């Protein structure tokens, strides 16, 4: 027999020997190809593309901001070189009022210059808006000095320069340290963020100082530029020479950025560096404007590692190539392995085969493993069918013996007649309390035994637990029972002996260390075609999650269940929480049973089963 099996196996090709080498080579080759290509594209394409976009955004901002600053410089240069303005400033007057005409002429010229650009046109297009604040701070050398207001105010106009002498920028300009100074400040009273540029106005004839030309621009003129250069991730910074923020999507106006490590480490007029910001690596690119201010673009490194369409396209092409090559190698596998196994699975799923009403179809595939699987499974079905029949027969016999033993131990007619006799004797003796106890006990047995039926009406179940709790109320000093069940639900049928074990569990365990203020509440409701019975007490309580987890575990043996902590009622009664849970599942399905509900005080357990208005 052994020789025949060995010869039979050698005559058929093995599945492992046919598939292991080509599939192994295929997997290794294409995984290596895909990983290498994907990594290359991800690093090169994504980094280059994202870096190029960030650099283009940087160049766009730099070009437009520089154009804004050049426009301000051109306005100042026009004032400095215009001969008409020069004549108005150098003219001498005997009386102050003689300068009035020239004063207002000069002021009109400044007003016209403030309307040169439309970059700051944020209001209605029908109303002319000042794009720049163009002002002259005159010195005593000018003939219009006496006509000018004493205090400088940051609006378009002509002023005396007396209160500007304490300004740092004015000192830098007057000392000749710089020909053109730039700064940012708030414009009162509306607190608008402004950029200012100042240059000295000297006489073209004799070189004496006539005043200071001040050009101001609202930073809102920069907003549209930054909006057009918006980056998906990251932000821009425009810093002055002292590293204060002039404009940024992230920081406030004039916020000091010199303490930021990546700002203090900038060297040179332009470049890029890698630094860590807020726990993440960032790339910082910067470029210096003509006035000494710096423009920065800060982009997180994670932005450079995004997936792109190129990665997806290459991955799809690689996968397609792998499918084409794999299809060539796996064609025989599909025909010689997959199809026979599929037929085998289809056959064993047919009830006729499983129930031995027809034999398992025989297949000859030429592959040893597949043929052996078919034959061994046929043998397994025979053994399994035999074991199922044997186990079913033994279980029926065991349950029948248990039922016969229970009926032999309890003779309902004898028990009821005996309790009726005790009740009559108690009434004749005038012992009303004993009579009530006996009647309640009779109801407990009557509804509990239920004539051997599995199902009972909710009304009968409620009467059984009422009788049981009536006896308990006589035994306990302070027990209150509330049973809230609507009349239309009393006809519903449930698995019998459900509520009494739960009520007994509440009394034995929930009120073990409590003798006053004890309360048990029993309610019933219908929820989504399910009947939900709730038993709630105000005892010492339990952990609902632990109890639910234990309910889900399969009990090992009846004897172990009685000592596991799930058997909450007395051992003599033979019923416990797990007993109730398993009986419900056996009769109505695994999705039903008991569930514990977390409450602030006490224990709350719900019984969930299908709602049957009539006997199922």
pLDDT at 122 over 50: no
Neighbours of 348 (CB within 10 A): 15
Distance separating alpha carbons of residues 541 and 539, to the nearest angstrom = 5
| pLDDT exceeds cutoff 60 at 5 | no
| Predicted pLDDT at 288 | 92
Residues 388-441: pLDDT tens digits? Answer: 777 867 776 666 556 555 554 455 555 655 666 676 766 777 766 777 777 667
Instruction: Kindly give the interhelix angle for 577-588 and 544-552, rounded to the nearest 10 degrees.
Output: 50
Tokens of 519: 């309360």
Q: What tokens were used for 415? A: 């028990």
The C-alpha atoms of residue 353 and residue 372 are separated, in whole angstroms, by 18
Query: Of 235-239, 497-501, 578-582, where does the model show the most confidence?
Result: 235-239
Q: Retrieve residue 26's tokens.
A: 């295929």
DSSP lists the bridge partners of residue 199 as 180, 213
Helix (H, G, I), strand (E, B) or coil at 114: coil
Using one digit for the tens of pLDDT, what is the confidence trace for 347-396? Answer: 777 776 666 666 766 666 666 767 777 777 777 777 877 787 778 677 76
Q: Of 93-102, 112-121, 152-161, 429-438, give the range with the top mean pLDDT.
A: 152-161
Query: Quick check: 128 pLDDT over 50?
Result: no
In the DSSP assignment, the letter for residue 454 is S
Q: What is the 3-state secondary structure (H, E, C) of 139-167?
A: CCCCCCHHHCCCCCCCCCEEEECHHHCCC
Return the pLDDT at 444: 66
Q: pLDDT tens digits, residue range 572-601?
A: 333 477 888 888 888 888 889 999 998 888
Q: Give the H or E element holding residue 106.
A: helix 100-113
Q: What is the mean pLDDT of residues 166-185?
A: 88
Going by their DSSP bridges, the two strands 518-527 and 479-484 should be labelled as: parallel
DSSP 598: -
């Amino acid at each position: 027999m052994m020789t025949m099996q060995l010869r039979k196996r050698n005559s058929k090709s093995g599945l492992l020997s046919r598939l292991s080498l080509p599939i192994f080579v295929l997997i290794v080759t294409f995984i290596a190809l895909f990983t290498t290509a994907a990594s290359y594209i991800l690093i090169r394409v994504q980094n280059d593309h994202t870096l190029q976009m960030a650099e283009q955004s940087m160049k766009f901002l730099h070009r437009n901001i520089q154009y804004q600053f050049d426009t301000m410089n051109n306005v100042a240069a026009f004032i400095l070189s215009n001969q008409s303005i020069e004549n108005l400033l150098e003219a001498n007057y005997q009386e102050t009022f003689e300068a009035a005409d020239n004063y207002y002429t000069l002021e009109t010229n400044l007003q016209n210059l403030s309307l040169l650009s439309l970059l700051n046109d944020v209001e209605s297009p029908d109303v002319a808006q000042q794009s720049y604040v163009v002002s002259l701070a005159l010195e005593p050398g000018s003939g219009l000095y006496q006509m000018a207001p004493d205090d400088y105010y940051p609006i378009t106009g002509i002023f005396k320069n007396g209160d500007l002498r304490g300004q740092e920028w004015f000192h830098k300009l007057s000392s000749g340290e710089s020909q053109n100074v730039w700064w940012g400040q708030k414009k009162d009273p509306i607190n608008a963020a402004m950029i200012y540029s100042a240059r000295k106005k000297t006489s073209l004839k004799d070189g004496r100082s006539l005043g200071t030309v001040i050009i101001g621009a609202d930073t809102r003129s920069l907003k549209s530029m930054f909006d057009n250069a918006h980056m998906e991730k990251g932000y821009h910074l425009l810093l002055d020479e002292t590293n204060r923020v002039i404009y940024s999507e992230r920081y406030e106006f004039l916020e000091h950025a010199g303490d930021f490590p990546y700002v203090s480490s900038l060297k040179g007029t332009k470049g890029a560096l890698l630094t860590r910001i807020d726990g993440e690596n960032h790339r910082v690119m910067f470029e210096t404007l003509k006035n000494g201010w710096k423009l920065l673009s800060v982009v997180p490194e994670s932005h450079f590692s995004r997936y792109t369409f190129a990665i997806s396209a290459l991955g799809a092409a690689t996968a397609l190539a792998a499918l084409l090559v794999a299809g060539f190698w796996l064609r025989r596998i599909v025909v010689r392995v997959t199809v026979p196994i599929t037929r085998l699975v289809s056959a064993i799923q047919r009830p006729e085969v499983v129930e031995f009403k027809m034999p398992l179809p025989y297949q000859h595939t030429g592959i040893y493993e597949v043929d052996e699987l078919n034959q061994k499974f046929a043998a397994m079905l025979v053994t399994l069918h035999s074991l199922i029949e044997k186990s079913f027969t033994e279980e029926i016999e065991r349950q029948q013996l248990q039922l016969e033993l229970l009926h032999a131990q309890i003779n309902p007619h004898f028990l009821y007649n005996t309790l009726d006799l005790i009740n009559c004797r108690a009434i004749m003796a005038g012992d009303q309390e004993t009579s009530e106890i006996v009647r309640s006990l009779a109801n407990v047995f009557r509804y509990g035994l239920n004539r051997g039926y599995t199902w009972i009406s909710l009304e009968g179940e409620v009467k059984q637990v009422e009788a049981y709790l009536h006896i308990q109320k006589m035994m306990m000093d302070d027990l209150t029972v509330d049973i809230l069940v609507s009349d239309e639900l009393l006809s519903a049928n449930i698995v019998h002996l459900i509520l009494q074990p739960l009520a007994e569990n509440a009394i034995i365990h929930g009120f073990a260390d409590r003798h006053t203020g004890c309360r048990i509440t029993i309610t019933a409701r219908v929820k989504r075609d399910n009947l939900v019975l709730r038993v709630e007490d105000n005892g010492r309580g339990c952990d609902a999650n632990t109890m639910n987890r234990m309910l889900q575990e399969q009990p090992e043996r009846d004897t172990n269940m009685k000592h596991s902590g799930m058997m909450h009622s007395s051992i003599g009664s033979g019923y416990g929480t797990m007993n109730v849970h398993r009986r419900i599942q056996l009769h109505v399905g695994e999705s039903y049973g008991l569930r514990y509900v977390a409450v602030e005080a006490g224990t709350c357990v719900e019984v969930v089963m299908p709602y049957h208005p009539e006997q199922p």
